[in-house]
Amino acid sequence: MELTQAQAREIEEARAQPHPTLRATVPAMEALLYRPIPVLDHGFVRVVDYMGDDAAVVQAARVSYGRGTKRVQDDEGLIRYLMRHWHTTPFEMAEIKLHVKLPIFVARQWIRHRTASVNEYSARYSVLDREFYIPSPEHLAQQSATNRQGRGAALTPEHAEAVLRLLREDAARCYDHYLWLLNETEEATPLDPDRPGLARELARMNLTLNVYTQWYWKTNLHNLMHFLRLRADAHAQYEIRAYAEAILGVLDAWVPITARAFRDYRLSAVTFSAPMLACLKRMLAGEVVTAETSGLSRREWKEFRAALGLPA
Amino acid sequence: MELTQAQAREIEEARAQPHPTLRATVPAMEALLYRPIPVLDHGFVRVVDYMGDDAAVVQAARVSYGRGTKRVQDDEGLIRYLMRHWHTTPFEMAEIKLHVKLPIFVARQWIRHRTASVNEYSARYSVLDREFYIPSPEHLAQQSATNRQGRGAALTPEHAEAVLRLLREDAARCYDHYLWLLNETEEATPLDPDRPGLARELARMNLTLNVYTQWYWKTNLHNLMHFLRLRADAHAQYEIRAYAEAILGVLDAWVPITARAFRDYRLSAVTFSAPMLACLKRMLAGEVVTAETSGLSRREWKEFRAALGLPA
Amino acid sequence: MELTQAQAREIEEARAQPHPTLRATVPAMEALLYRPIPVLDHGFVRVVDYMGDDAAVVQAARVSYGRGTKRVQDDEGLIRYLMRHWHTTPFEMAEIKLHVKLPIFVARQWIRHRTASVNEYSARYSVLDREFYIPSPEHLAQQSATNRQGRGAALTPEHAEAVLRLLREDAARCYDHYLWLLNETEEATPLDPDRPGLARELARMNLTLNVYTQWYWKTNLHNLMHFLRLRADAHAQYEIRAYAEAILGVLDAWVPITARAFRDYRLSAVTFSAPMLACLKRMLAGEVVTAETSGLSRREWKEFRAALGLPA
Amino acid sequence: MELTQAQAREIEEARAQPHPTLRATVPAMEALLYRPIPVLDHGFVRVVDYMGDDAAVVQAARVSYGRGTKRVQDDEGLIRYLMRHWHTTPFEMAEIKLHVKLPIFVARQWIRHRTASVNEYSARYSVLDREFYIPSPEHLAQQSATNRQGRGAALTPEHAEAVLRLLREDAARCYDHYLWLLNETEEATPLDPDRPGLARELARMNLTLNVYTQWYWKTNLHNLMHFLRLRADAHAQYEIRAYAEAILGVLDAWVPITARAFRDYRLSAVTFSAPMLACLKRMLAGEVVTAETSGLSRREWKEFRAALGLPA
């Protein structure tokens, strides 16, 4: 990921001048503010603003006049209780705003999370940068044989090289043609003064789905954790998981108590269905339960064993 | 509106200690932070936190790396353009959190605005304060004869006095009985040690709808303006309008450019339907249009004349 | 719960005339349509409309051209898979519309579920009926000593009688005064022709929170189940749970396969946190784990034992 | 737009068997159900289900027990009143579900309307069809010189031909390579048995933005009209407007009274800001107002004149 000089300067200017505020402030977030955290080959996540901290969650849960409890320990107990019992509204009381640069096919997964505010860079209005996501070879994997929406073994180096060459060439050619259609250089000067440029809103359709776009994305802490639970999960596609993991790091900096509770009660938690729970009770009572005697479907039995770290 | 000493102290403690921040900061909002703005007889609105300013709207609309345009004048032009053309997403990029004390019947109107986060003081969990809204005599009005959901002329002083006495007595008696049911004083000591208190979640049903409740309410600038457009309107019930007007003052302090555009393009704007627009064009061409020749229903004709400041 | 003759007639008229449709149709729901299911002393739930069925969930998950899979068994497998893995969007593709009559204090809990459409009977515009919720004696319980938002032991019969008398008298007196303020009988004729009625939007503030209101409430199957998960739970207040249980019966009639999956994977499922899961693995390996060696807080240890049906 | 035989058969099967229902039914919608309405070169909109009709809006506004008012004329007056005064909740009480086939770059605009439910065909899970949008020559236009996000004059036939050739070739080549990466024919048999296929979730990134995707999209009448107001507008990109216009036809069939009110009070209505309204009053009083004396910005003055059908 590289910034232009103008971008780097804008960021440093935004960081140059602290202001006094009476609002809740998190030093670890101040250290992060505005600076891009690199993700994939050309993407990033930047924290642009934040509202609230761990104490703000407590303060809202208590509808208090001041800054929550006196002791951090009490805050932690309450936050863990709220998390465990799905009292979600206090977590809506903290808010974060990110600037994200990401490939279009990742943006299309991301946008399915509807309870957020989004301002995307407009390719109707402006020209997209010449940047496309090309996976690193170790992330090229064959279609999974067991999971229709997953990856299997890695490709051989020769095969990977052939795939990457093709991805690179198609993206580059489509982007070159996009510029030809626009009849603009990347510096917005006409290539051919005798030919009008095609409307931007039309020319963009010639781009491939790995071209990078960018947006401002703002959501509250509750919805952010919901996003992370689904997208930092091992079943999420690697490319969006890379963003989720970068944001998990932001979460740790922003609301460390909430982040710990989130890991314990959401990210690393396991839900057992009523039939699974019945098996569990029998097993704890000393019975040897098998796939056949479990009453579970084959698929559930496998998931059940995996959750307990037992061999299938 | 009166705060307890403990509440006043909590507020002053929250205001005591400024912290440096690199985030967008609005001095006029810092001056307001945490301090209650009185509304009605016992209610208030307090700004608890805010995120963003006018420049944040511009910054999001541009998906920029830094702090928006260089010149305030350019920001204003863009903000007015966005407002006029209903480009609403950049206004979602600023956020505000309020602590509000309000009568329950007002809370029931307010909560119909769903795109906000709310944490209400729980009467299942805690005991409500002995505070109920009693209108001032000049706000007591008879049922409107022309508008089924409006007020007509003021009551006579004697009539008003009778109404107020009844409101006061019923609210007080119901509240006293609420405490008797709970078997707790307001200081949470038992009144009668030989009798268990009724569950709080049950006792509360004996309260009247003018009892005050309170909540934390957080919403973005776009939804806040939508709330204000409906609730600062002359057709809104006076009691919720009083809150909307207090919040309008906060809007002016927070995002003065957006607030001006909001007043021009929303609050004081008028929408003419296709048939009204047809009348308007005929009138501008010099034709005398009457209710009969207008093609409008009687009701629309009246609304049309009123919008233009013409006699019905 | 009693309907007026006019209401009963309206319902029978709506049920009189079947129309042919090509849409998904559920005979068990047709049998329920429009008829009130009684809840509490004067409340009800009525199914006013529905869209989709179990097959509609499958159809959406597959983005298919026709009616989903050929075999019911395949539908069931897919629906259970979607439920287990939190693939929630296909469940948003079925919709239900209910007419509900409920006490105001229940309505205030209910409305916190924001992802639904609501049209409430307007007490600004109309006069509310003389109906208030008075609990039956067995539901009168003292404040729980262990759970600040729960109920403990039932009251003694004498105590209960005193409580009920008070609730009845306060609600009745407040309602009578409401009519006096309005200066309307329940049949909307003036009581006293020489005195104007107080505006309805003001008079309503004299009512108690157990007065019944009513609304149309429309939500999708996903959000309905979310509502049921929280409100049919043993920790929900009895009065709203009574509504949730009535609606659970509707769910069984409407989408029987989804309803079974919902009970197995949501309603009767248990989530174990990472620390709980660690205990579980140790116990399954034969270790005797105690509160002290568990690494759980006292509260979590209690919850953990309860989930497994083990003595605290 | 062409359906496969299997798809056509599925649609006819779904249409073959009417069922009796007591729900609100709209014969004009029954005639439309399941049948694709062609849009662009390969796209379509199909009505998959609907809930409610014009009377359902009235019924919800009145919170009535039966089917709304007795007379259609009364329904129309109320619906127009609700529309004019932005009483939007009754319009949320009707719901529609569509199956849409559309180019990805159109889908990306569409999805910005967040208050809807969506199930998109998954290119992680399945292989996309070989269908891409190629504009017809008359829709190829140069970049507008005055509106950065609009189209100007049409291209010359020779220029258009060159553009179309390039769009066709790039889309076809990228799609061919997509199949090569997958190592599957469109019939899902391996092309080359000695080479594993690339994971679908990766291969899709090589597709261009004009490839067709499809989804189930469900929304309520209020949000549908909001979508139509923005997307059937002259400033919307032609390609999404084509879908909006097809759906406008569905709206006319479904809720004819609401559709008329929507056209009068939304689609063809004009909003005048406070400064514009001041000009209007002066003009009606006989004053000649010019750009200079108007107090409007140049841009607003132009918009003002245009709204009144007056020369700039």
To the nearest whole number, what is the mean pLDDT of chain C? 93
**Inter-chain touch D52–C49, beta carbons under 8 Å:** yes
Exactly one of C108, C231, C266, C305 is catalytic; which is it? C231
**Inter-chain touch C60–D119, beta carbons under 8 Å:** yes
Q: Which residue of C has its CA nearest to A229?
A: C86
Residues A116 and A39 in one domain: yes
| Number of domains chain C contains | 3
Where are the strands (E) in chain B, listed by range? 19-21, 37-39, 43-51, 95-103, 117-120, 141-143, 151-154, 212-220, 270-272
Whether residue D152 is contained in a domain is answered as no
To the nearest whole number, what is the mean pLDDT of chain D? 93
**D148 and chain C: CB distance < 8 Å anywhere?**
no
Residues A224 and A205 in one domain: no
Look up residue B135 and give its amino acid: P
- What residues contact residue B10 under an 8 Å CB cut-off, 6+ apart? A64, A65, A66, A67
Touching chains, C (3+ CB pairs < 8 A) = A, B, D
pLDDT above 90 covers a percentage of chain A that reads 81
CB-defined contacts A:B, below 8 A: 150
Assess contact for D103 and D40: CB atoms under 8 A: yes
Q: Compute the nearest-CA separation of C283 from chain B (Å).
A: 36
Residues A196 and A47 in one domain: no
Residues A129 and A237 in one domain: yes
- Cα of A64 vs its chain's centroid, Å: 33
Assess contact for D216 and A159: CB atoms under 8 A: no
Whether residue D300 is contained in a domain is answered as yes
Residues A172 and A249 in one domain: no
Per-residue tokens: C11: 């319902």
Whether residue B312 is contained in a domain is answered as no
**Inter-chain touch D14–C89, beta carbons under 8 Å:** no
Look up the ipTM and state it.
0.94
Whether residue A80 is contained in a domain is answered as yes
Residues B140 and B25 in one domain: no
- At residue B280's C-alpha, the angle toward residues B279 and B286, to 5°, is 95
Assess contact for D161 and D137: CB atoms under 8 A: yes
Q: How far is Cα D174 from Cα A159, in angstroms, rounded to an integer?
A: 18
Domain endpoint, select from C164, C192, C208: C208
Whether residue D162 is contained in a domain is answered as no
Residues C61 and C107 in one domain: yes
Residues D83 and D10 in one domain: yes
What are the chain D neighbours of C79 within 8 Å (beta carbons)? none
Whether residue D59 is contained in a domain is answered as yes
Q: pLDDT tens, C296-310?
A: 998 889 999 999 999
Residues D248 and D303 in one domain: no
Residues A33 and A111 in one domain: yes
pLDDT of residue C68: 58
Residues C94 and C221 in one domain: yes
What are the chain D neighbours of B274 within 8 Å (beta carbons)? 263-265, 268-269
pLDDT of residue A189: 67
Task: Scan residues 91-130 of A and list those with Cβ closer than 8 Å to D.
Answer: 103-105, 107-108, 111-112, 114-115, 118, 120, 122, 124-126
Whether residue A129 is contained in a domain is answered as yes
Q: Which residue of A has its CA nearest to B11?
A: A66
Q: Compute the nearest-CA separation of B185 from chain A (Å).
A: 21
C195 as an active site residue: the answer is no
Q: pLDDT tens, C182-194?
A: 998 766 667 788 8
Q: How far is Cα A273 from Cα A282, in angstroms, rounded to an integer?
A: 14
What are the chain C neighbours of B118 within 8 Å (beta carbons)? 112
**CATH number of the domain where residue C32 is located:** 3.30.1360.170
Q: Residue D148: pLDDT band by 50, 70, 90 thresholds?
A: confident
**C309 and chain A: CB distance < 8 Å anywhere?**
yes
pLDDT of residue C194: 84
pTM: 0.95
Residues spanned by the domain of D113 = 5-133+210-267
Q: pLDDT tens, A33-46?
A: 999 999 999 999 99
* DSSP secondary structure letter of residue B286: T
pLDDT at B205 over 90: yes
Q: Residue B101: pLDDT band by 50, 70, 90 thresholds?
A: very high
Strand partners, B132: B211
**Inter-chain touch C63–D220, beta carbons under 8 Å:** no
Residues A41 and A92 in one domain: yes
pLDDT at A194 over 90: no
pLDDT at A78 over 70: yes
Whether residue A312 is contained in a domain is answered as no
Assess contact for D250 and D47: CB atoms under 8 A: yes
pLDDT of residue D183: 93
